[in-house]
């Protein structure tokens, strides 16, 4: 199954996917393209180093979101994309995009949704004083980080933490969780039942990752 990844920044989650693919841990998934709205970002460099096709569409060149989304759809269709993974992609997608790929777009978010959607999930969690934080992989809908939840991983907030140490602890879990979920999706083991998502098969239990150590 052809998978594309969209990213805007450092691309460490993309790297986790590339490494998993190289290790044969993504099942039938093939990462066929990496796209970005930030032409010089490190995520694109990581993709090039891995020999994966890249494209950049600078959103500032588009007067409206819909036009940007239309161009994204065209790029992704050119790669016969069947699953799109948002890994630090910092643009909201409109129905122009989402209707083109129904239930084929997933996102990783650095909080235990529905708490702390939007930007800076770790900072929001830290400021709120929660004792447990984490990350979520979910299907993307037209809202902000509001689609059906596929998997979550939990980390503790420790006494000596600052926002950065918490962000790093969450990020490490993101790197474990995202490849597991991508594999489950491409193996057709993820079933959406309204708001609830059922994951079956060997790795089902790993979609509730615990990292309390």
Residues that bind ligand GRF (CB under 6 A): 7, 9-13, 43, 87-88, 108-110, 171, 174
Catalytic residue among 109, 128, 138, 208: 109
Pairing mode, strands 208-210 and 149-156: parallel
Q: At what angle do helices 163-186 and 121-128 cross, to 10 degrees?
A: 130
Least Å distance between CB 86 and ligand GRF?
Answer: 7
Task: Tell me the residue nearest to ligand GRF as measured from the CB.
Answer: 88
Least Å distance between CB 135 and ligand GRF?
Answer: 6
Least Å distance between CB 146 and ligand GRF?
Answer: 14
Residue 114 has which token pair? 């529905």
* 59 is an active site residue: no
Q: Decide whether 100 or 178 has the Cβ nearer to ligand GRF.
A: 178
Q: Decide whether 9 or 67 has the Cβ nearer to ligand GRF.
A: 9
Measured at the CA of 194, the angle between CA 189 and CA 197, to 5 degrees, comes to: 30
Category of 203 on φ-ψ map: left (φ > 0), alpha (ψ -120 to 50) or beta: alpha
| Residues with catalytic roles | 109
């Amino acid at each position: 199954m052809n998978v594309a990844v969209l990213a805007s920044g450092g691309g460490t989650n993309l790297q986790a996917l590339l490494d998993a693919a190289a290790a044969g841990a993504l099942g039938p998934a093939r990462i066929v393209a990496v796209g970005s709205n930030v032409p010089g970002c490190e995520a694109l460099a990581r993709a090039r180093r891995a020999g994966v096709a890249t494209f950049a569409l600078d959103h500032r060149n588009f007067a409206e979101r819909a036009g940007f989304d239309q161009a994204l759809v065209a790029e992704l269709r050119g790669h016969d994309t069947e699953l799109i993974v948002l890994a630090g992609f910092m643009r909201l997608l409109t129905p122009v995009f989402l209707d083109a790929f129904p239930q084929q777009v997933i996102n990783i978010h650095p909080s235990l949704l529905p708490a702390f959607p939007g930007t800076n999930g770790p900072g929001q969690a830290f400021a709120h004083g929660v004792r447990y934080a984490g990350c979520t992989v979910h299907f993307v809908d037209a809202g902000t980080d509001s689609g059906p939840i596929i998997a979550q991983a939990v980390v503790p907030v420790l006494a000596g933490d600052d926002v950065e140490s918490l962000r790093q602890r969450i990020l490490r879990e993101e790197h474990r969780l995202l490849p597991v979920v991508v594999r489950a999706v491409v193996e057709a083991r993820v079933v959406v039942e309204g708001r609830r998502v059922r994951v079956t098969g060997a790795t089902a239990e790993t979609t509730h990752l615990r990292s309390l150590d």
